[in-house]
Copies of this chain bind each other. A is one copy, B any other.
Amino acid sequence: MKKMNMVIAQSGGPSMVINESLWGAVSAALTKEASKSIDKILGARHGIAGILKGDYIDLRKVGAKKFEAIAATPSSALGSCRLKPTADDCRKIFESFKKLNVGYFYYIGGNDSADAARIVADEAQKEGYPLVCWHIPKTIDNDLRSCDHTPGFGSAARFVACAIKGDDLDNRALGGVKIDVIMGRDAGFLTAASALARERPDDGPHLIYLPEVPFSEEKFIKDVKAAMKKFGRCVVAVSEGIRGKDGIPIGAKLADGEKDSHGNVQMSGTGALGDALAKLLKAKAGVKRVRADTFGYLQRSFPGVASWQDQWEAKGAGWCAVLGSLHEKNTGVFSGTIGIERKKTKKYGVNFVYHPISDAAKYTRSVPKEFIAKNGHDVTQAFVDYAKPIVGDLPRCEIF
């Protein structure tokens, strides 16, 4: 079999473990087995944007020691982009791939990135360009339909749980209402992870609002009043993606409406939602001290808090994508994505499985009903049991 070169790239929002997936894929490509098929390993800078510009790094020259350190570093070391390729873009990509003798393409990212990889695979089919085209899952939002949970989620959830733990102690000290706005455009998994912060029955978060449950200002005010009465204070975890009965995210209405090429409205990187909710409570819930923080990009980039289980799974997903994609003879287009299945054993464990790329693309997974408490402002024990092994042990916080 003729040896071909490989291109790998990262796309979408960075995570704390996306470089683990990169290193997993590259170290798999460096194995004796893979070296029979794969020659050069090219890292494209800034995803498809870099491929279109021919901006590559020779990843075989990096060295294992440096690569291990990069793997443990948050954010996308190759750079990222949010670009939906057109048919025309794809033709340019294949022209460039042909010149560079590229037969293997791996794209690490979330559902939009999976959709980009799907478009590339479909266009390769149409154009008759033989290509192994695989998506490697990543998203802190945990919303890929092809995964029990997604690499990146566990570490972001660990940051959120730690942050809420500390913030709940701060609220114990000074009282009032504290609102924390947590990432998650459409899915509330990351906001739900705030529940892992609880050690004691009266620990916060006392209220959790997910995008999956229509948000009502009246209910919110009532919930806060009840929590203030019960606990004398209140910590609220609220998703940036909460939406009213009309289905339109409240944060998007407040922000300036900037959109990326996949049509997503910007919601992170602004404190507008938190400030609006704080203002509402001051005016209508009779609470004097209300503060709001928006955790923002720290959730996906803070160094030193990654979950080791998440790191391990992210690396495994990259490794399996490369080795799994070599199982077929490369005569046409061969595409797919790595799914993560939870073992049905009592002890936590995962299997990496293969899915059609469309299983990860475009459409997102929501927090299922069994994870949402009936009162509409909390999660169930089933969610906590689901998330705990992915997030790992948290620092214990002791009080009098």
Q: Could you tell me which A residues sit within 8 Å of B by CB distance?
A: 10, 13-14, 43, 46, 57, 62, 66, 69-70, 72-82, 162-163, 165-167, 169-170, 172-174, 178, 256, 268-272, 274-275, 278-279, 282, 290-298, 300-305, 394-400
What residues of chain B lie closer than 8 Å to A398, measured between beta carbons?
A: 66, 69-70, 72-73, 77
> Closest CB-CB distance, A263 to chain B, in whole Å?
16
CA–CA, A394 to B304, complex, Å? 9
A162 near B304: Cβ-Cβ < 8 Å: yes
A170 near B14: Cβ-Cβ < 8 Å: yes
Nearest CB to that of A68 among chain B residues?
A: B398
CA–CA, A43 to B400, complex, Å? 10
> Closest CB-CB distance, A40 to chain B, in whole Å?
16
Name 11 interchain pairs, CB-CB below 8 A, sorted by A: A13-B174, A69-B396, A79-B172, A169-B301, A170-B300, A268-B291, A269-B290, A270-B275, A271-B274, A294-B294, A304-B305
What residues of chain B lie closer than 8 Å to A162, measured between beta carbons?
A: 302-304
Nearest CB to that of A166 among chain B residues?
A: B301
A395 near B172: Cβ-Cβ < 8 Å: no
CA–CA, A72 to B173, complex, Å? 16
CA–CA, A283 to B332, complex, Å? 49
Nearest CB to that of A72 among chain B residues?
A: B398
CA–CA, A65 to B66, complex, Å? 41
Q: Which 3 pairs of residues, A with B, have the shortest CB-CB distance? A: A271-B271, A269-B291, A293-B296
B173 near A14: Cβ-Cβ < 8 Å: yes
Known: A397-B303, A398-B69, A400-B43. A173 touches B297 (CB 8 A): no
A292 near B271: Cβ-Cβ < 8 Å: yes
Nearest CB to that of A45 among chain B residues?
A: B400
A395 near B303: Cβ-Cβ < 8 Å: yes
**Most chain-B CB neighbours within 10 Å: which of A78, A167, A279?**
A167
What residues of chain B lie closer than 8 Å to A269, measured between beta carbons?
A: 178, 278, 290-293
What residues of chain B lie closer than 8 Å to A301, measured between beta carbons?
A: 166-167, 169-170
**Most chain-B CB neighbours within 10 Å: which of A13, A72, A173, A303?**
A173
CA–CA, A29 to B361, complex, Å? 63
Known: A70-B400, A173-B80, A298-B298. A165 touches B303 (CB 8 A): yes
Q: A72-B398, A77-B398, A291-B297 are in contact. List 11 more A-B contacts (CB 8 A).
A: A14-B173, A46-B173, A57-B400, A74-B397, A77-B169, A162-B302, A269-B278, A269-B290, A269-B293, A293-B297, A294-B294
